[in-house]
C-alpha cells in the first residue's frame, strides 16, 4: 500500500507535526504544498489531506490543488489543526473530495497553538481569540500525538 500526505502548514508548523507522525506510522511520503502547485497521485492508494485553519477555513491552496486531482476511487483522510481543534472544519474538504469520487476513511482534528495578537485587532474577537489562544498553548501536545496515532491505525484497519 502506497500512501501520500499532502498538507499545508504555514503558521507554526502545527499541522506539519501531525503530518510527520502520520508519515512515520504509515511510511508515507509527505508534501507541504506551501510552494507546490501540482502533485502526481497516480501511484498512491491512500492520500491524507491536512491543513491549519485560517479564518474559519482549511487552506484555499489545498482546495485548489485537490480540484486538479483525479480522485476517483482513491482512499482519503482529512486532518486539521486549529485554535479550537474541532473536526467541523474538515467537513467542507471531505465533501469536496467525495464530490470528486474519493472514498473518505476518516477525519482528525486537534488544537494547534496560536497567538491571538498576531492576527486580530478587533476588540470583541480579540477577547475570544485570546482565550482560545491561551487554551491552545503547547498544542499539538503528546496527548494529541497519541490520539493521532490511534486515528491513523484505525484508518489502516479500514482499508
Ligand atoms: C491568520 C490566522 C487565522 C486563523 N484563524 C483561525 C480560525 O478561524 N479558527 C481557529 O480555530 N483557529 C484559527 N487560527 C489558528 C490556526 O488554525 C492554528 O494555529 C493552526 O494550528 C495553524 O496551523 P499551522 O501551524 O500548521 O499553519 C488562525 C491562525 C492564523 C495565523
**Atom 9 in ligand 1: residue holding the nearest Cα:** 56
What is the position in ligand 1's atom list of the atom closest to the CA of 51? Answer: 26
What pLDDT was estimated at residue 121? 72
Q: Verify whether ligand 1 is closer than 6 Å to residue 61 (CB atom).
A: no
What pLDDT was estimated at residue 117? 81
For ligand 1, the distance from its centroid to the CA atom of residue 159, given in whole angstroms, is: 31
CB 83 within 8 A of CB 133: yes
Q: Is residue 51 part of a domain?
A: yes
Q: Verify whether ligand 1 is closer than 6 Å to residue 9 (CB atom).
A: yes
* DSSP-derived pairing of the beta strands 46-54 and 57-58: antiparallel
What pLDDT was estimated at residue 2? 94
What pLDDT was estimated at residue 36? 87
What pLDDT was estimated at residue 25? 96
Q: Is residue 126 part of a domain?
A: no
Q: Is residue 125 part of a domain?
A: no
What pLDDT was estimated at residue 119? 74
For ligand 1, the distance from its centroid to the CA atom of residue 115, given in whole angstroms, is: 9
Q: Is residue 94 part of a domain?
A: yes
Note the pLDDT tens digit of each residue in 113-144: 999 888 777 776 788 888 999 999 999 999 99
Q: Verify whether ligand 1 is closer than 6 Å to residue 63 (CB atom).
A: no
Q: Verify whether ligand 1 is closer than 6 Å to residue 82 (CB atom).
A: yes
Give the number of domains in the chain.
Answer: 1
Domain range holding 16?
3-113+141-157
Residue 13's CB is within 10 A of a number of other CB atoms, namely 15
Provide the phi-psi class of 138: left if phi over 0, else alpha when psi is between -120 and 50, else beta.
Answer: left
Q: Is residue 71 part of a domain?
A: yes
What pLDDT was estimated at residue 71? 97
Find the CATH number of the domain harbouring 18. 3.40.50.360
Length of the chain: 159
Residues of the chain falling short of pLDDT 70: 124
For ligand 1, the distance from its centroid to the CA atom of residue 135, given in whole angstroms, is: 13
Residue 130, classified by CB atoms within 10 Å of its CB into exposed (0-12), middle (13-18) or buried (19+), is middle
Q: Is residue 29 part of a domain?
A: yes
What pLDDT was estimated at residue 66? 97
For ligand 1, the distance from its centroid to the CA atom of residue 141, given in whole angstroms, is: 16
What is the value of pTM for the model shown?
0.96
Q: Is residue 135 part of a domain?
A: no
Q: Is residue 131 part of a domain?
A: no
What pLDDT was estimated at residue 127? 86
Amino acid at each position: 500500500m502506497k500512501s501520500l500526505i499532502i498538507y499545508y502548514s504555514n503558521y507554526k508548523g502545527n499541522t506539519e507535526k501531525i503530518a510527520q507522525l502520520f508519515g512515520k506510522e504509515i511510511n508515507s511520503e509527505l508534501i507541504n504544498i506551501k510552494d507546490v502547485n501540482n502533485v502526481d497521485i497516480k501511484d498512491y492508494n491512500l492520500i491524507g489531506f491536512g491543513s491549519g485553519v485560517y479564518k474559519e477555513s482549511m487552506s484555499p491552496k489545498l482546495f485548489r490543488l485537490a480540484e486538479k486531482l483525479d480522485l476517483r476511487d482513491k482512499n482519503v483522510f482529512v486532518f486539521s489543526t486549529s485554535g479550537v481543534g474541532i473536526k467541523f472544519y474538515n467537513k467542507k474538504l471531505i465533501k469536496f473530495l467525495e464530490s470528486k469520487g474519493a472514498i473518505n476513511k476518516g477525519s482528525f482534528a486537534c488544537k494547534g497553538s496560536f497567538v491571538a495578537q498576531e492576527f486580530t485587532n478587533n476588540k470583541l474577537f480579540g477577547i475570544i481569540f485570546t482565550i482560545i489562544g491561551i487554551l491552545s498553548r503547547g498544542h499539538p501536545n503528546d496527548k494529541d500525538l497519541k490520539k493521532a496515532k490511534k486515528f491513523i491505525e484505525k484508518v489502516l484497519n479500514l482499508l
